[in-house]
Amino acid sequence: MLKHNLNIAIIGQPNSGKTSLFNKLTGSNQHVGNWAGVTVEKKEGKFSVGKQKINAIDLPGIYSLSTYTLEEKVTRNYLINERPNLILNIVDATNLERQLFLTMQLLFIGIPTILVLNMIDEVEEKGNKIDTKRLSELLGVQIVETVARDAKGIDNLKQKINEYLNNSTKNKEFKIPDDEANIIQTIRLFSKEFDNIDKFKDYKNWYALKFLEKDIEVSEEIKKHSTEVYGLLDLARKELTKSISTDLAIAIPDWIYGITRGIEAEVLKEFMRKKQVKEIVSNFLDLIALDKFFGVPVFFLVMFLLFQATFFVGDILIGYMENLLAFLSHFITYIPNKLIVSLLKDGIVGGVGNVLLLIPYIFIMFFLMSILDDSGYMSRAAFVMDRFMHKIGLHGKSFIPLIMGFGCNVPAIMAARTLESHEEKIKTILMVPFIACSARLPVFVLLSGAFFGKYGGISVFALYMIGILISILTGIILNKTVLKKKSDGLIMELPPYRTPHILNSITGTLPKIKHYFIKAGTIIFVASAILWVLSYFPVGVEFGGEHSLIGRLGKIISIIFIPLGFDWKMTVGLITGVVAKEVVISTLSVLYSASDSFTVVLPTLINPIIGFSYLAFILIYTPCLATIAVIKSETNSTKWAIISLVYSITLAWIVSFLISNVGGLIFKFISTSPH
């Protein structure tokens, strides 16, 4: 008999292979979004076991069921409030003692659980073996051995899932060593107080464990539902603390680790222990990657090669996409109605096409970042950069999104979701837009070449440096004002180096591309249609000319930019550039239309100081609508999107004003001074 809405929660510690297993189970049938109210990534997928349809939730990687991080809070709330039918607890089989710490906490919840011993091949490579039968007896759960990256053990796992779902099997009671029995008795004694409270009775052992552990949220929740029960338990907890002379917040985790240590000793059979070539190579690589002198240069070299590869391959792919868009634009011209032709060609294809053209770069960048992450290098990179990032109140992990910003601000902002602290996420997200992305590069190159000729390269370099400086200053300002929070020390696991699995990286990248396309593409589509209307009407005027609605709007808004030396045409370029920075070039080429190329005309109408001021404004003000849309999505707040928009435009105006006026005075002084 088939059941409806069967939900399986996939949970495990970071680097346990949890997401690889999720990808193998669900394939491309998955959706990436955010958990309600927070910016933690939510991955859902579907797969079948026989005729039974199953929903799978890939919960964030966590080390425990505390609420020190958003990821832990999201996972805990899902398990307690949504109550999945089954838990797949993914465990890195090479480190049972630490990995089973989370498993023990899950067993107290009591939801049917299958323990998945992943990376079992690495255990065997070391000449070791895990007694899964004994481990199953100790924990009271079914166990499946897998190598998720190679899809080994997946069929066996599905068979076990089918058995659980059809039989509604419950976990057997896990066996606790005799010397620890008194703690279990205490937990059971505490849990009896929850028998008559509907909110707690189903997970009474877990609530008792967390109350003993002095979990703040659980304690407050119990107090809210019954002050009488809370008073009794709090008194008992204080008496217990006195009797053992140890803080229970430390004693309980120590007790759990004591059990996991004993379990590992009992089930792990070490037949041989010799240093393998892989371990020797890993140690050698870490000597370089983590060195205080070589670590940073190595990181920049890796990032340089990543961007070179991104643009090398991206340029090849983008050529095909440009040809496709050109063919589509040409095909549209055969439509008899000129209004529809203009809407589709100039508005929709012209606007949305910019989003499509970014997809190859974004896919390659995410794919290569996934390769680096799977290899184990990115954890080391974050560790190396942590010292510098602390100086501006950020975590070492914040450096990765900032570096990604040179490629595209959109995936860079999305990458900030890996940060544990809400304040650090917001700071990083607001810093990223000032990093010069690849969409700005063609504008910088073309206009710098027009204004500065052979010195254009210096202009482009200066713009990149200004962007980095403003990004850092923004982080410092936020850290000193609205987002005050001392950055936590970086304590992180350094996973072993592993050979990346190409197919897994592709599978993990595709949902992110889909997420980007839906979030950013819809905004661009609407904005492009609006800009087309403003450029086309009133009927009969030159498309995008001074008598069009966009031209009239440009003349009105240009009043604000008079102190900067920008005319209405330059202003319109800034307006259209909000959709995508490449649009600035096409806008200026239409508005400054002449017999010669507009890059030849521009230097005759605009002096180099105003030109550089204009480029600085393009650098600093909002990168594009897609960026604003993603800021709103990732912060789950319209407020931060508006703050980013207003702050960047205001800052761009101030910097451009200083360049135009102070720079203009210096230039005038130099040009008029006697030689």
Question: Which three-class secondary structure state does DSSP give residue 46?
Answer: strand
pLDDT at position 354 is 56
- The model's confidence at residue 595, banded by pLDDT at 50, 70 and 90, is very low
Architecture field, domain 6-167:
3-Layer(aba) Sandwich (3.40)
Residue that wins the pLDDT comparison between 39 and 408: 408
pLDDT at position 38 is 46
pLDDT at position 527 is 64
Give the orientation angle of helix 638-672 with respect to helix 608-620, to 10 degrees: 160
Q: What is the pLDDT of residues 9-44, one digit of tens each?
A: 999 998 888 888 998 898 755 555 544 444 456 788
pTM: 0.65
The residue-averaged pLDDT of 336-348 equals: 75
Contacts of 543 (CB under 8 A, 6+ apart): 342, 346, 535, 536, 590
CA torsion, ordered 499, 500, 502, 505, to nearest 10 deg: 170
pLDDT at position 347 is 64
pLDDT at position 36 is 46
> How far is 438 from 404, CA to CA, in rounded Å?
10
- The model's confidence at residue 393, banded by pLDDT at 50, 70 and 90, is low
pLDDT at position 32 is 54
The residue-averaged pLDDT of 396-409 equals: 76
pLDDT at position 239 is 83
- Asked if residue 400 has pLDDT above 50, the reply is yes
178-270: CATH class: mainly alpha
- The model's confidence at residue 144, banded by pLDDT at 50, 70 and 90, is very high
pLDDT at position 187 is 80
pLDDT at position 345 is 72
Strand 41-49 relative to strand 30-34, pairing: antiparallel
pLDDT at position 409 is 86
Q: What is the pLDDT of residues 152-174, one digit of tens each?
A: 999 999 999 988 877 765 666 65
Q: What is the pLDDT of residues 307-325, one digit of tens each?
A: 677 767 876 777 787 788 7
Question: Which three-class secondary structure state does DSSP give residue 92?
Answer: strand
pLDDT at position 387 is 67
The domain ranges of the chain are 6-167, 178-270, 295-438+484-525, 528-672
Amino acid at 539: V
pLDDT at position 648 is 95
The residue-averaged pLDDT of 45-51 equals: 86
Tokens for 120, please give them. 């079992």
Least confident of 91-105, 285-299, 390-404, 555-569: 390-404
Residue that wins the pLDDT comparison between 99 and 52: 99
Cβ–Cβ < 8 Å for 93, 123: yes
- The model's confidence at residue 492, banded by pLDDT at 50, 70 and 90, is low
> How far is 224 from 219, CA to CA, in rounded Å?
9
The residue-averaged pLDDT of 78-97 equals: 92
> How far is 15 from 389, CA to CA, in rounded Å?
24
Question: Among 365-379, 412-426, 553-567, which range has the highest average pLDDT?
Answer: 553-567
pLDDT at position 194 is 85
pLDDT at position 505 is 82
